[in-house]
Amino acid sequence: MEGIWAALAQRLDFASFVPKPVDGIERADLRTRNGSPYTVLKDPHGDGGAGTYVRLDEGYVELFELMDGTRTTSGILVEHLQRRGFLALDRLAMLTANLAANGFFGDATVDVYARLRRRRALRDPLVRLSLFLRRLIVWNVATWKNAESTIDVLYRFGGRLAFTRLGAVILVLASLAGIVLWAREFGSARHDMFRVGGSVAWGVIALALLQVAQISVHELGHALAIRHFGRRVRLLGLAVYYLFPCAYVDATDMIMAPRWQRVIVALAGPLAGAIVAFLAMIVALTSTDPIVAGIAFSAATIFIFQLVLNLLPILDLDGYHILVDVLDAPLLRQRALAFARARLPVKIRRRERWSATEILLAAYGVLALFASIATLAFAALVWNSRIAPLAAELTATGLVGAVVLGVILVAFVGPILVQLAIRGAGWARTALGALRSRRGRDAQAILLERVRVLGRVRFLSNLTPQALAALADHIREEHVERGQVVVTHGEEADRFFIVRSGLLETVAPDGQTLGRVIPGEGFGELALLDGTPRTATVRAIEPTVLWSIDRGHFGRWIKDRFEVAARIRASEEERARLGKVPFFRALGSAELRRLSAKLVIRRVPAGEFVVRAGEPGDRYYVIREGTAEVIGPDDRPIRTLGPDQDFGELALLFGGGRTASVRAVTDLVLMSLARNDFAALVKASGETLGGFRTRTSHYENAPGLGSAVSTTR
């Protein structure tokens, strides 16, 4: 077992992996339309001998060239670093993964996740039905890999003549002549391409057979062009197309050829059909048998129609691939449709400037959307004009005709209906997904808001964002009407509350109002922490929204965390300590809580001044640790201050300039309160600053607090 784990560890160790490509890899160095180089590699052994391909941009080619079978990936990185001056770790990881997946290091890796996705998709009955009906459209019967030997026979016995200069000119002229002859004959209306011998059924069968012939001729044109440029016909196959047999070829090997050769290969298919259309028109114009002439004209119509259809760059056919190669714009259709659906309305609405690429994408995307609509309209027209009479004729023949009609409907109409059902199901899933996503975004926004509010609670401020998010997830929102009691004095504490909006007041057992609780403040944490009854009654002065956390989650996230519990107790001790300061002795617990949250700790080394005479008086100070001396304007010491003594209280009430200086005798730890914060706290309590001055006026001349120690006036 140890050997297995050691071997597995070695195989999974990317740094020690020695990438060695298999023998016989073909390489084509090409350039894009703008001259940028790129390389295409082909492993002729991949995919059972058909070959696999990988395209490498310029930055990846040198890494591949370093894979000579002697260097580990770490050695390749070091060598590349010495040559280029940067560490290409991500590039090498992507390159080795891509090459391994396509079998360039031996057997191709198995994409387990792709198999799992396929198995999951097959659980959908619509997907299974779509795959079944797709077999009725295109059912692959047999394939031959690297079938260039078969095509070579056809190429040597006449096919090569089409690629000589004279042969190409003759074929082009014949194609044009066939189109002209067909147009003249089509205007005469002497032929009914949908009937043979007056029968719609035979007419449809003849058209289906001609369509199969057209596909085979079209594919043969591609195959001969591939052979002419020395590339391989990767696959030659036989398939059943709409219940009829036809041949097809795989032109993937042309990815190793320049763009202009790929354009000619794409043109060869429609052009081969145009040549057959010319020959069919000769038969249609010279035959004396009306049935033969009619079938020949139908054949010419099918081939010319497919010529036009295949050369339309709007559809994902040869014309589209020609346009992609001419413009060197890969994935043009997908990018254009995505741009037309998403970015186009935004750019029009905002009247933004357009780049050349955006104009191309918008034009192509809009035309593709209109082409899709036109295709549906054409299908509906054909159904009304041709399929309906065929259905009536087949059903009139009895059971056999009804069975034939059923097979035709399943093969031709069934896939469309299934695709529409799949598209509808996809739209429904998208709508549900968007709804779930919107709900998720709303829930996430609510959670973030709760985290922000919890982070402003003083004893929770040091918790990590993850802990705050976990705590916020257990918040319950409660709505309280005016006059409604939230908690009652003496009852058992079961929840901690935070005021989200509204206003509450705390009332002592004797009915005296102790203070107000404003938005952003909490209450009830100490009773939960110590397991004591409520010490006051809290009721709503106006409609209020509360966030609450139950005892269980409070205990898990707050009580059981000693550092948080210590901060709660420290805050309580700090409020009690502030309550002993003469200037704040008349304040209630809620006001002291509000006040302590605004205090800022300041440290002053011994010998330095805290404030100087003449400076603006904008802060009030309470000494927590150390001693300080008050110095008058004439540099005469007035008195010494120690712990829990304060100075600058008149700065809170009146502002103005400092009338004395305060210097640290020893290292000081001070708590300070800004005048703006103080004014906001007074306003939040429902009192005016003038009212507070009146309530505290008796402290103004108190020993050590008034004129004797005053640093403001």
- pLDDT confidence of residue 664: 92
| 3-class DSSP assignment, residue 489 | coil
- pLDDT confidence of residue 319: 82
One-character DSSP codes across 100-132? HHTTTTSSPPP-HHHHHHHHHHTTSHHHHHHHH
Lookup: tokens for 207: 């058209």
What is the topology classification, in CATH, of domain 476-560?
Answer: Jelly Rolls (2.60.120)
d(CA 522, CA 519): 8
Other beta carbons less than 10 A from residue 169's beta carbon? 10
How would you classify residue 425: left for phi > 0, otherwise alpha for psi between -120 and 50, otherwise beta?
alpha
Residue 708 has pLDDT above 50, yes or no: no
Q: 401: burial class by Cβ within 10 Å (0-12, 13-18, 19+)?
A: middle
Q: Which of 2-6, 456-460, 510-514 has the lowest mean pLDDT?
A: 2-6
Q: What is the DSSP letter of 249?
A: E
Residue 39 has pLDDT above 90, yes or no: yes
d(CA 275, CA 271): 6
Classify the C-alpha dihedral 55-27-262-280 as positive or negative. Answer: negative
Pairing of strands 495-507, 537-550: antiparallel
Residue of 115 and 274 predicted with greater confidence: 274
pLDDT tens, residue by residue, 74-115: 888 888 888 888 888 888 888 888 888 888 888 766 666 677
Q: Torsion angle, CA of 488/494/499/505, rounded to 10 degrees?
A: 10
CA atoms within 13 Å, Cβ hemisphere of 456: 14
State the pLDDT confidence band at 713, using cuts at 50, 70 and 90. Answer: very low
Summarize the confidence of residues 207-223 as an average pLDDT. Answer: 82
Q: Which of 6-15, 91-100, 389-398, 488-497 has the lowest mean pLDDT?
A: 6-15
Check if the beta carbon of residue 546 is closer than 8 Å to that of residue 477. Answer: yes
Beta bridge partners of 55: 40
Separation of first and last alpha carbons in the chain: 86
Q: What are phi and psi of 166, to 5 degrees?
A: -65, -45
| 3-class DSSP assignment, residue 150 | helix
Burial of 265-283, coded b for 16+ CB within 10 Å and e otherwise, reads: bbbbbbbbbbbbbbebbbb
The domain locations on the chain are 14-109, 146-328, 476-560, 589-699
State the pLDDT confidence band at 704, using cuts at 50, 70 and 90. Answer: very low
- pLDDT confidence of residue 334: 77
Q: What is the DSSP letter of 470?
A: H
d(CA 152, CA 429): 50
Residue 54 has pLDDT above 80, yes or no: yes
Residue of 73 and 333 predicted with greater confidence: 73
CATH number given to 14-109: 3.90.930
pLDDT tens, residue by residue, 309-357: 778 777 677 888 888 888 888 778 778 777 777 777 778 877 888 887 7
d(CA 525, CA 535): 12
Residue 382 has pLDDT above 90, yes or no: no
Among 563, 536, 535, 564, CA closest to 549: 564
Residue 597 has pLDDT above 70, yes or no: no
pLDDT tens, residue by residue, 485-517: 988 888 888 888 888 888 888 888 888 877 788
Summarize the confidence of residues 225-233 as an average pLDDT. Answer: 89
Residue 684 has pLDDT above 60, yes or no: no
The pLDDT mean for the chain works out to 77
* 14-109 and 589-699, same CATH topology: no
Amino acid at 417: L
d(CA 676, CA 602): 18
State the pLDDT confidence band at 702, using cuts at 50, 70 and 90. Answer: very low
Residue 32 has pLDDT above 50, yes or no: yes
- pLDDT confidence of residue 304: 84
State the pLDDT confidence band at 672, using cuts at 50, 70 and 90. Answer: confident
Lookup: tokens for 534: 């409520």
Q: 585: burial class by Cβ within 10 Å (0-12, 13-18, 19+)?
A: exposed
Lookup: tokens for 62: 């040198």
Check if the beta carbon of residue 700 is closer than 8 Å to that of residue 706. Answer: yes
Give the contacts of 236 (CB within 8 A, at least 6 positions apart): 143, 144, 147, 150, 151, 223, 247, 248, 249, 250
Residue of 688 and 436 predicted with greater confidence: 436
d(CA 491, CA 485): 12
d(CA 172, CA 643): 105
Residue of 8 and 461 predicted with greater confidence: 461
- pLDDT confidence of residue 42: 92
pLDDT tens, residue by residue, 632-647: 877 888 888 888 788 8
Most confident of 287-291, 343-347, 449-453, 541-545: 541-545
One-character DSSP codes across 595-618? HHHH-EEEEE-TT-EEE-TTSB--
Most confident of 57-61, 400-404, 567-571, 613-617: 57-61
Residue 139 has pLDDT above 80, yes or no: no
d(CA 396, CA 136): 25
Task: Look up tokens 């709508």; give the residue.
Answer: 431
Most confident of 215-219, 478-482, 548-552: 478-482
- pLDDT confidence of residue 619: 82
Other beta carbons less than 10 A from residue 368's beta carbon? 20
Q: Which of 5-9, 116-120, 231-235, 354-358 has the lowest mean pLDDT?
A: 5-9
Residue 204 has pLDDT above 70, yes or no: no
Name the CATH architecture for the domain at 589-699.
Sandwich (2.60)
Between helix 200-228 and helix 259-286 the angle, nearest 10°, is 140
Residue of 243 and 634 predicted with greater confidence: 634
Check if the beta carbon of residue 612 is closer than 8 Å to that of residue 647. Answer: no
- 201 to each of 396, 406, 567, how far by Cα in Å? 11, 14, 90
- pLDDT confidence of residue 133: 63
Summarize the confidence of residues 262-285 as an average pLDDT. Answer: 89
What is the percentage of the chain residues whose pLDDT exceeds 70? 73
d(CA 292, CA 627): 119
